[in-house]
Structures are given as C-alpha cells and as structure tokens.
Structure 1
Amino acid sequence: MTNAAALFDALSGADRVSTRLDDAAWIRALLAVEVALSHAAAAHGLVPAADADRMEQAAAGLHIDPAALGRAAVEGGNPVIPLVRLLRTAAGAAAAAVHPGATSQDVLDTGLVLLVRSAADVVLDDLGAAADAAAVLAAAHRDTPMIARTLGQQALPTTFGAVAAGWSAGLDRARRRLSAVVGGLPVQFGGAAGTLAASYPHGPAVADALADRLGLARQGVPWHTERTRIGELAGALGVAAGACAKPAADVVALAATELGEVSEAAPGDSSSMPHKRNPIAAITARACARRAPGLAATLLAAMEHEHQRAAGAWHAEWESLTDLLRATGGAAARLRVCLSGLQIHPEAMARNLRPNAAEPGRHHAADLVDRILAARAS
C-alpha cells in the first residue's frame, strides 16, 4: 500500500499511529467485525454454526486490494457494501452467514471503534511517557530557581520543577480522560433502521455477543445517529493535543537564544544558518497540536445526524477522526522525544532572574512540586 503521508509521518511523529490506521488496518477491522458478527448470530441460532466457520475461513483467504475496494465503494458510498459482496462470493454455500441482520453502518462504526482502540494505545503510551519525563524533570529541578513570566514579562521567582510538574499534571489529566472515553466506546449493531428488526427477537443478545467477541463495550441501544460518543472522543483528543502543546510552547520559548534556559538533546539544524540549534521536537509537537482543534470541530459539527441515518454527516467522520488521531498522536510522540532528552541550564535561569526578585515564591513553588508529584504517585 502506498501511504500518501509517508513523507511527513515520521517528521510529525505520526508514524506509529498511522500504521494502525492505514487502508490495510481498515480492511482487517471490517473483516474482524463481519467474522465476529457471523459467530455472534450463530450463537443465537440465526445462522448455522458450520456456516459461520466457513465464512470465517473464506474471510481469512481473501486478498483485497484497498484501491479496488475504494473504487467499488463509490456506488454505495461506503466500503462495507462491496466488501460484503466479496465475502458472500467467497463463502459460497455459506453466504447467508455473511452480514446477518446488519447494515453497513454497523460494520463500519464498529470497525472504526476497533481502529480507535488500537491507535489510542499508541497515543496513550506516548502521553504517559511524556508525563513521566516531565515528572522526572520536576523532581530533579524541584529547587532550581528561575523567573516566572506572565503576559510575556518577568514576574516573580518560581522553580523549573514547578513548571515541569504543571506539564506533567496536564498530560496526566488528558491521558486519563482519553483512556476513559476510548474504553467506553461500544459496538454498533442496529440493522437497517436501528430497530434490530432483522434479528428479532435476538437482536440485543447478538449485539452483546458481538461486543464480547470483539472486546468492546456493550451498546445498550444502537447509536446510528446519536453521536455523543464521537463528540466526546473528539473533545478528549483535542484536549490531549492541547495538553501537549503547552509544554512544547514553553520549551520553544525557553530555548530562545535570548533566554537559553533549556535545550533539546538532539536539536535540529538549519539549511542556511549553521549556528542554529532549533528545538525541532517541540516545534513539530506544536505543529501537530495546532491541527487538532479544526478536526475536532469538524467532528462536533458532524454530530447533527438527521432521522435514523445521516446523509453526509456520518461520512464526514471517518477521515476526520483518523486524521485527529494522527495529529494528537504526533503531538504526543514528538513531545515525548522533546521532554525525554530535555537539557536544563540552571546557570542561564539564575542569570535571567531579576536581581531584586523576592525569594519566598521560589520556596512555595518547590512545595507545589511536592504536592503534584505526591498526587501523581497516588
């Protein structure tokens, strides 16, 4: 598969996330849903168990060209429709075990949840590692004095430990929220109009069995046009990106030549100015984070799904959500690199302190570090 973002994925830190969201991953997820659905339906007598087994074997033997599947999806507006045709052809006599009681949105929404779960594992790992790195900096520099800056001007003394502890607290909070939202994403199974009519009276039981087989939360009721979960996910990803942007912005400012209070372990160079040492990991983290609000806004705007199936709003979610995962994932990955090797320059911090600055604020800041790190440990 050709990845259109291959030129920029590594630079932006999105390479690990992107491998879990590419075309091959989409197809694997959709097939996994179809196979699990056939077995869930068989468990409740809607299709023969032997046919579900044959359907699974047929799915395992398929070799699908993403570009060809994409072209075939144009007519119906989503890739599940041609995928089901391929599965039924491959299953032969067991074709009735393919897609029992489902509609395309059931499979695509559930497949998207599987992709989100997989990609979010990477994002959460990088958020956690960035928070850990910030906490290490906070502990090491609990008493390292520096000047606080408010509205771009020198204010009162603080410590670098207090600054880094604040970074850690924000990243931890964003990580916990994102983890909770992702963990609560459910299966989708409602049938053509969201009434489960095609699998009556076993629809709710099949939906629960499908969720259990895929390791997802149970849905309660179908959510074809009730998109609060997607909105919550968009918000959590946007907040996580913002939590990454804050320390990245501070690092860029503190690394400026005029301040020189921090520097990255592997700064970037310039094509025309050999003296430059650019905080490139922080810069690219900020770049990724700045893409997130627009993508989150698109998903929030797309929550308005009319009637029982949306015409366009649903379709707008697929790429917007995967792009948002890439943006937030890239911000977290690049911030992890930035903070894990961040070099602190206490002598520059001491030099930049105003000579007449009062000392007590510095000690209060050190106490704040202790409280934040203690809360984190608990």
Structure 2
Amino acid sequence: MGPTSSLFGGVLARGAVAAAVADDAWLTAMLQVEAALAEAQAFTGLLDQAAADAIGAACARPESFDAAELGRAAAESGNPVVPLVQALRRAVPDHAEAVHRGATSQDILDTAGMLVAARALRPLLGDLRACADLTARLAREHRDTAMIGRTLLQQAVPTTFGLKAAGWLGGLDAARRRLDQVRAERLAVQFGGAAGTLAPFGDAGPDLVEGLATVLGLREPALPWHTERTRIADLAGALGSAAGAVAKVARDLTLLAQNEVDEVSDSSPGGSSAMPHKRNPIAAVCALGCAASAPGLVANLLAAMAHEHERAAGSWHAEWRPLRDLLVSTGSAAAWLRSALERLVVHPDVMRANLSRSGLTGDLTATGLLVDRALHDFGTKR
C-alpha cells in the first residue's frame, strides 16, 4: 500500500505533490511527450504537419485514455508506453504510422518522468520557501530570547531561540536552493531511439532533441541518458537532503513540545484515542513520519543506477515506484512542517524559567550577531 492510498492519504500525502505524481498526471505527461515529439518532427521537416496536428489533438484529450487499463496492459510489454502508443494509433488511424516515430518506450517514460518531477517540485519548493520564511521570522523575533542549549539531549550552555531558528533556516534554505538547482539544470529530455543512436533521423537527430526540449521546457542533454542515471540520482539526493532538513526542524519541535520542556506548542494539537489529556504536536510528528521514508527511497534509486549497456533489464523499472514515493514523502514532509511552523506557539517565559532553573549563565552577545549574519545571508540568496 503506497503513500497515496486513500486510507493513509490524509497523513502521508499532504499537500499538492501527491496529485502531481498521480496516475493521471503521468498519463498526461506521456501524452504531452508524444505530442511534442510529433510537433518537433514537423518543425524539422521529418513529419507532415497534418499528422502532427492530429496527434497533438488526440494527446490533448487524456480523458480518452484509461490509465487503469493501460496499467493492466503494461504487464504484457513491461511498461505502459507500449499500450499507450497502441491506443494513440487507434485514435488517429489516418496517421498511425507517424505516432511515436523513431522513439523507444524509455524515451517517452523518462521524459514524462522529468515533466512530472518538474511539476511536483513547484509546490514542494513553495512549501520549503514558506518554511524558510517562517524560521527567518522566528529568528528575527527571538534574536535575544534566551534559553538553555542542549547537547546529547542534556542541558549544556545558554543560547537563544533565535539562533536555534536560524540554524533551521540555514538547513531549509540550503536544501531548497539545491532542489531548485536540480530542477533548473538536471531535468532533461530523454530521446535517443532504440539504442540511443538517433539512427532514424540522421543529421536531423540533434535538432529534433533540441526542438523537443524547447517544446517541453526541459533541458537539452548532450547525449541520451538511457543508462546514465546521474540525473535521477541528483534528484533523489536533493529530495533526500530536503527531507532531512525538514526532519531536523520537526525533531526539535517535538522535543521542545514535551510536557517536561514545554518551550513550544502546537496551536492545533492532535488528540489521543486512549488519553484525552494528550495535546500532541501532530504536524511536526507527521512531518517526521513522512521524512523518515526518504533515506530508504533514495538508497533504492542509487542502487538502481547500474544499468546494463545501452538499455537496462530491470534497473529502469526499479526506479519508478521509489521516485514517485520519494516525491510524495518529501513533499508531504515539507507541507506538514509548514503547518507546524504556522501553528507554532513559542513560550519565552518557559524558556527563561528553564534556563533559570539550570543555574547556567553565559554571554549571548555573539548569538545575536550570528542570527543577524544568517538573516542577511538568507536575504541575499533569495
């Protein structure tokens, strides 16, 4: 049962990323690639414009194709592109030979995956930006709010809540910028034909790839990347780092919200089926739960990088589920953390009382300067 199932969807599929990677989103993306391929071939003189127009019109109606049926039929060929191409050819009988011309299934599915990822990253990046803004506000507002610092989960020396929030900000903003860089630079068209040679197109092959990239708004790769999977690895690594940055903040929030600490709380706490007195920091808890899936999914994608020769036997297929689940898990974690920070109630009086009870003192002049530096750095890099 995946994270997008209806029973667990309210917790494990928070935010807009789950919808962006759902079956209908993949179907739409695959059709857009087929339409763009026909358009690019017509532009380069490789295909009649009437054929490209007919294919484009059919691809513009994803509701005409049954994603569930395509999924069932995919078992016959090992991927959903083969039955999709068959259905698309039936939809344009006068131009059936022009559909999917010169392409291989992996060209379509990999490129569709890049489109899906690019679209899913928009709400994810939006939530990360919002989280960074919220932690920046906390750092600014609590620049001088003294509290006890903790190392190895034990009281250490005095610090400020502003400095703690500035640390959260640094991690979140770095993760956001890395993910934004991957989105801008590493999400590329995949097109090479049967063995990555562009053989059916001769000298026009490179121009066709350029046109396809232009139509779809993706990067143009120097070479087909059927079995060179560092683009997937870069995306996975950036998503994993983002999940880790989110988890760091969520972990601190759950610890600070413990009854024995009580330095922060959730303004809309979750309840308990057995203990009515509980006031759980549920948004932070769910952020942690979603983020916890990311490392294993990243590992799955890295383990699948060893593709054989020009086309892989199984390693390509092994990427599909963990990539979609990783986008959902990281996106859900970021959405939950945004909720946690929006609902966060800070208790400076409790922080001061806990610090006073520790009996520890220290000069906090430098902490304010560190917060100022972090906020300045954040402002210049936005």
Which interval holds the TM-score relative to the shorter structure? over 0.9
Please tell me whether the aligned partners of residues 12 and 334 of structure 1 are also in contact (alpha carbons under 8 angstroms).
Answer: no
Match of 2:29 in 1: 29
Return the offset for 1:15. Answer: 4.2
| Counterpart check, 1:48 vs 2:48 | yes
User: Aligned ranges for residues 329-340 of structure 1 at < 5 Å?
Assistant: 329-340=331-342
Cα distance in 2, alignment partners of residues 88 and 243 from structure 1: 46
1:248 to 250, 253, 259: 250
Please tell me whether the aligned partners of residues 47 and 96 of structure 1 are also in contact (alpha carbons under 8 angstroms).
Answer: no
User: Aligned ranges for residues 362-373 of structure 1 at < 5 Å?
Assistant: 362-373=364-375
Cα distance in 2, alignment partners of residues 241 and 205 from structure 1: 38
Match of 1:116 in 2: 117
Match of 1:307 in 2: 309
Please tell me whether the aligned partners of residues 15 and 335 of structure 2 are also in contact (alpha carbons under 8 angstroms).
Answer: no
Cα distance in 2, alignment partners of residues 97 and 134 from structure 1: 53
Match of 1:130 in 2: 131
1:251-299 per-residue CA deviation (whole Å, 9 max, x = no partner) reads: 0000000000000121111112111110000000001111000000000
Match of 2:70 in 1: 69
What is the SS of the residue equivalent to 2:77?
A: coil
What is the SS of the residue equivalent to 2:188?
A: coil
Match of 2:320 in 1: 318
What is the SS of the residue equivalent to 2:75?
A: coil
Match of 2:16 in 1: 16
1:131-184 per-residue CA deviation (whole Å, 9 max, x = no partner) reads: 111111111110000000001111110000000011011100000001111222
2:292 to 290, 293, 300: 290
Cα distance in 2, alignment partners of residues 161 and 341 from structure 1: 17
Return the offset for 1:92. Answer: 1.1
| Counterpart check, 1:171 vs 2:172 | yes
Cα distance in 2, alignment partners of residues 211 and 296 from structure 1: 27
Please tell me whether the aligned partners of residues 268 and 279 of structure 1 are also in contact (alpha carbons under 8 angstroms).
Answer: yes
1:48-91 per-residue CA deviation (whole Å, 9 max, x = no partner) reads: 11111111122334611111111111111000001111111111
Aligned CA-pair RMSD: 1.4
Match of 1:213 in 2: 215
Match of 2:360 in 1: 357
Cα distance in 2, alignment partners of residues 310 and 176 from structure 1: 32
| Counterpart check, 1:92 vs 2:75 | no
Q: Which one-letter code corresponds to 1:47 in the other structure?
A: L
Cα distance in 2, alignment partners of residues 35 and 206 from structure 1: 13
1:239 to 235, 238, 241: 241
Match of 2:154 in 1: 153
Cα distance in 2, alignment partners of residues 131 and 9 from structure 1: 25
How many residue pairs end up in the alignment?
376
What TM-score results when the alignment is normalised by the length of structure 1? Answer: 0.97
Please tell me whether the aligned partners of residues 55 and 92 of structure 2 are also in contact (alpha carbons under 8 angstroms).
Answer: yes
What TM-score results when the alignment is normalised by the length of structure 2? Answer: 0.96
Cα distance in 1, alignment partners of residues 49 and 263 from structure 2: 67
Q: Percent identity among equivalent residues?
A: 54
Q: Which one-letter code corresponds to 1:357 in the other structure?
A: L
Q: Which one-letter code corresponds to 1:103 in the other structure?
A: T
Q: Which one-letter code corresponds to 1:5 in the other structure?
A: S
Change (3 A) 1:15 1:138: closer
Q: Mean Cα displacement is larger for which, 8-17 or 224-233?
A: 8-17
Match of 2:7 in 1: 7
What is the SS of the residue equivalent to 1:74?
A: helix
Return the offset for 1:198. Answer: 1.3
Q: Which one-letter code corresponds to 2:90 in the other structure?
A: T
Return the offset for 1:13. Answer: 4.8
Change (3 A) 1:335 1:61: closer
Change (3 A) 1:328 1:159: same
Please tell me whether the aligned partners of residues 124 and 334 of structure 2 are also in contact (alpha carbons under 8 angstroms).
Answer: yes
Please tell me whether the aligned partners of residues 29 and 114 of structure 1 are also in contact (alpha carbons under 8 angstroms).
Answer: yes
Cα distance in 1, alignment partners of residues 54 and 269 from structure 2: 56
Q: Which one-letter code corresponds to 1:117 in the other structure?
A: A
